[in-house]
Amino acid sequence: MSSTLNVLKPTDFASDQDIRWCPGCGDYSILAQMKKMLPSLGFSREETVFISGIGCSSRFPYYMNTYGMHSIHGRAPAFATGLKSTRPELQVWVITGDGDGLSIGGNHLMHCIRRNLDVNIVMFNNSIYGLTKGQYSPTSPLGHVTKSTPRGSIDNPLSPCTVAISSEATFVARSIDFNTKHLGETLKRAAQHRGVSFVEVNQNCNVFNDGVWSHMTDKETKEDNVLVLEHGKPMIFGKNRDKGIRLNGLDPEVVSLEQIGEDDLLFHDETIESPMLAMLLSRMKFPEFPVPIGVFRNISAPMYDQSLNEQVADARQEKGEGDLMELLHSGDTWTVE
């Protein structure tokens, strides 16, 4: 690592390219928090790589003064797999969106996550296709009226965090574009996790899906509609912190703290091996429930890139560095004089 790390500033991570997102887009906030957070990680610019697919979010690498790749639609995790497997010392970020990552690229996302590749995946979820000008996405709610669904969407939506947990993700978190402090902290925790990190960022598209997350961002309603997850703490929310989440059988329920004591609430534990708590939280949806943000799951497991390189090291240890002439002469040979 470079010896000049401690002097890197957020502006050092800014490239000289003009940013072409629409004015007011939530992507600006994510970019700002990323630049602000990166200097704290101990990686130099040149040790950092951003890889994206296609879509509004995927323009992200152009705006970072790091190494980067703006690849093809949905495939960013696959490019990241090749890079990280061969250059495990690099810090690799995958930037994707709800269409890029869950629709055309769903397969790669699932497999990258289940392999526990040591990369950080950030999914900008605005529940719409922005760059193609407003078709519904895999996270758009039923009934959503868009250019391609004039009578409302009939596709059952996916929850990105549920997909990640189902794919055995070892780190899963959710944050919100305009909750800048929470977003910065969440990105940092994702970066610090060893193994795959999946972060869903609820992001506003002010042109094609304005206000999609307003229940989580409007001053008047956000505290009643957002549950901030904190490891080891009871699940309490509300403007007056007077509501909580309790387990009733296998289902969560909202209870009033006037009737139920804190000790009877669900306590958050990121680190339990079983994915059931994280799964349950990922399925809590507005308006029945407050939407959880923060770290759902944070466990440790073998990493694909590390295991692959260990196999190479072990083979070299056992057999010695491969000898080409020995290889070419292996098996039955004969000599013509």
Partner 1 sequence: MITISEELNTTKPSTEIAGATVRLAGDSGDGMQLLGTQLTNTSALSGNDVATFPDFPAEIRAPRGTRAGVSGFQVQFASEEIFTPGDGLDALIAMNPAALLTNVQDLKESGILIVDEDSFAAKDLKLAKTDVNPLDDESLSKYRLIKVPVTSLTRTAVAELGMSQKHADRCRNFFAMGLVFWLYGRDLTPTLRFIDEKFGKKPEVADANVRALKAGWNYGETTEALATSFHVNPAKLTPGTYKNIMGNQALVYGLVAASKLSGKDLFLGSYPITPASDILHELSKYKHFGVRTFQAEDEIAAVCSAIGASFGGSMAITTSSGPGIALKAEGIGLGIMMELPMLIIDVQRGGPSTGLPTKTEQSDLLQVLYGRNGESPIPVIAARSPADCFDVAHEAWRVATRLMTPVFILSDGFIANGSEPWKIPTEDELQPIEISHPAGTTDGAEFLPYQRDELLARPWALPGTEGLTHRLGGLEKEDITGNVSYDPDNHQHMTHVRAQKVENATELIGDQVVNGPTNGDLLVLSWGGTFGACATAVQQCQARGHSVAHTHLRWLNPFPKNLGKILSNYKKILIPELNTGQLRMLIRSKFLVDAEGFNKIKGKPFGIAELVEQIERQLTT
Footprint of partner 1 on this chain (CB under 8 A)?
2, 15, 17, 44-47, 49, 51, 54, 61-62, 64-72, 75, 77-87, 89-90, 107-108, 110-111, 308-309, 311-312, 314-316, 318-322, 324-325, 327-329, 331-337
Q: What minimum distance in Å lies between the beta carbon of 130 and partner 1?
A: 17
Q: With residue 110 as reference, give the H or E element that holds it.
A: helix 106-114
Q: What minimum distance in Å lies between the beta carbon of 333 and partner 1?
A: 5
Amino acid (1-letter code) at residue 177: D
Q: What minimum distance in Å lies between the beta carbon of 74 and partner 1?
A: 8
Task: Please classify residue 179 by burial: count the beta carbons closer than 10 Å to its beta carbon, then call 0-12 exposed, 13-18 middle and 19+ buried.
Answer: buried
Q: What minimum distance in Å lies between the beta carbon of 133 and partner 1?
A: 18
**With respect to partner 1, which residue has the nearer C-beta, 72 or 279?**
72
Q: How far is CA 309 from CA 283, 293, 305, 325, in A?
A: 36, 35, 6, 24
Q: What minimum distance in Å lies between the beta carbon of 156 and partner 1?
A: 24
d(CA 58, CA 97): 7
**With respect to partner 1, which residue has the nearer C-beta, 79 or 237?**
79
End-to-end CA distance of the chain: 56
Q: What minimum distance in Å lies between the beta carbon of 75 and partner 1?
A: 4
Q: For residue 167, what are its two tokens?
A: 């794919």
Q: What minimum distance in Å lies between the beta carbon of 243 and partner 1?
A: 42
d(CA 154, CA 284): 21
* Residues 287, 126, 26, 31, CA torsion sign: positive
**With respect to partner 1, which residue has the nearer C-beta, 81 or 217?**
81
**With respect to partner 1, which residue has the nearer C-beta, 39 or 157?**
39
**With respect to partner 1, which residue has the nearer C-beta, 5 or 247?**
5
**With respect to partner 1, which residue has the nearer C-beta, 78 or 169?**
78
CB neighbourhood size of 8 (10 A): 18
d(CA 56, CA 130): 6
Q: For residue 218, what are its two tokens?
A: 């409007």
Q: What minimum distance in Å lies between the beta carbon of 93 and partner 1?
A: 12
d(CA 252, CA 230): 17
- The four Cα atoms 198, 229, 298, 289 give a dihedral, to 10 degrees, of -60
**With respect to partner 1, which residue has the nearer C-beta, 250 or 328?**
328
d(CA 100, CA 124): 10
**With respect to partner 1, which residue has the nearer C-beta, 83 or 183?**
83
Tell me the DSSP string of 185-216: HHHHHHHHSSS-EEEEEE--BTTTBTTTTHHH
